[in-house]
Chain A
């Protein structure tokens, strides 16, 4: 499901949201040592051929991390890319594990919230090949 057309990104709104949880989120982002020990805790990483794009740290650093680094000044295309990372590459099953103790699911959920504020919603795939109903 595409985002709401080519509406421009409301940077101020993103900034306001980022500011709300700035201290705790930035602390977590800073604490990430990039050790990638979180990778095996994600079932998607394990079954998608260990593709680094499914690593919890990758997902968080390239969504929330990027939002904080650019202080909300991101393009729509970047947000669309983040949507893939947050909704396609993550089920928010909250089972990811960090050796240092960074709260990964919270960061994914927060990033999703920011994207939703910009009209970018989750991907909920519809069933393919649904059976035909009875006639008449």
Chain B
């Protein structure tokens, strides 16, 4: 799940205070689940902005509307009429959602109310942890289900760095060394041989915007090759 966290109120205020009417668009997907951009958070932010900007003697009006997911054009359709009277939009979706909104309404400034921080899991209410870096080359099968990219601070692919103290990472001793955990997991499963498989260096050069088209759908979007 995509985890995001709300920007501080002061930062959001700076973004929107030049506008009189702002629509706060929420998302019923990931950001609802991680308590960052759902309906409740929309209500909160509208109240906070209204009260705070009133205190600063700034004329400001905001309303909230939550769509099912901001990453789906189908779900954004109902916004088309709703956004008309507003000067700007504040999106409480993840980075992808903000951009989809901005694309759909190119004549309206769209501001992000959240910082998208990682792909992660719910440990418990209000406690989220990163698990995936979406590197596009998953090696979890060889590391006993522990991602060396996300869980190792240095992203090492072939074993620990020699820095861990008491199984803690030398970069931040609040976290465990991922490779110690990988070793223990593989040992428990009798798969230590996998650690010996050397992974080549990752190709980090290509940072062009990612695109993925499934083979079965290709013909819908491009002419069939002769």
**Are A and B in contact, CB atoms below 8 Å, in the complex?**
yes
By a beta-carbon cutoff of 8 Å, the part of chain A in contact with chain B is: 41, 43-44, 46-47, 91, 93-95, 125-136
Q: Are A93 and B38 in contact (CB under 8 A)?
A: yes
Task: Judge whether B93 is part of the interface by a CB distance below 8 angstroms.
Answer: no
Q: In whole angstroms, how far apart are the Cα atoms of A60 and B106 in the complex?
A: 40
- The A-contacting residues of B in range 24-42, CB under 8 angstroms, are 26, 28-29, 32-33, 38-40
Q: Which A-B residue pairs are the 5 nearest by beta carbons?
A: A133-B221, A43-B39, A93-B32, A133-B222, A43-B66
- State in angstroms the CA–CA spacing of A13 and B220 once bound together: 39
B40, B74, B223: which contacts A95 (Cβ < 8 A)? B40
B residues 159-187 with Cβ under 8 Å of A? none
Q: Is the CB of B26 within 8 A of A125?
A: no
* B44 located at the interface, meaning its Cβ lies under 8 Å from any Cβ of chain A in the complex: no
Given contacts A43-B38, A47-B65, A47-B66, contact A95 B32 (CB under 8 A): yes
Majority secondary structure of chain B interface residues (helix, strand, loop or mixed): mixed
- For the complex, give the distance between the alpha carbons of A125 and B77 in Å: 13
Measured CA separation A112–B28 after assembly (Å)? 18
Residues of B within 8 Å of A, CB-based: how many?
21
Verify if B73 is at the interface (C-beta below 8 Å from A). yes
Task: Report yes or no: B73 in contact with A127, Cβ–Cβ below 8 A.
Answer: yes
Q: Whole-angstrom distance from the CB of B122 to the nearest CB of chain A?
A: 9
CA of A125 to CA of B76, assembled, Å: 12
A128 to B: closest C-beta gap in Å: 5
Residues on B with C-beta less than 8 A from A46 are 39, 66
Q: A126-B74, A127-B74 in contact; A43/B28 too (CB < 8 A)? A: yes
A128 & B65 in contact (Cβ 8 Å cutoff): no
B68 within 8 A of A: yes
Chain B residues closer than 8 Å to A128, beta-carbon distance? 73-74, 77
In the complex, what residues of A have CB within 8 A of residue B220's CB? 130, 133
Task: Determine how close the nearest CB of chain B comes to the CB of A82; give it in whole angstroms.
Answer: 19
- The answer to whether B72 and A125 touch across the interface, beta carbons within 8 angstroms, is yes
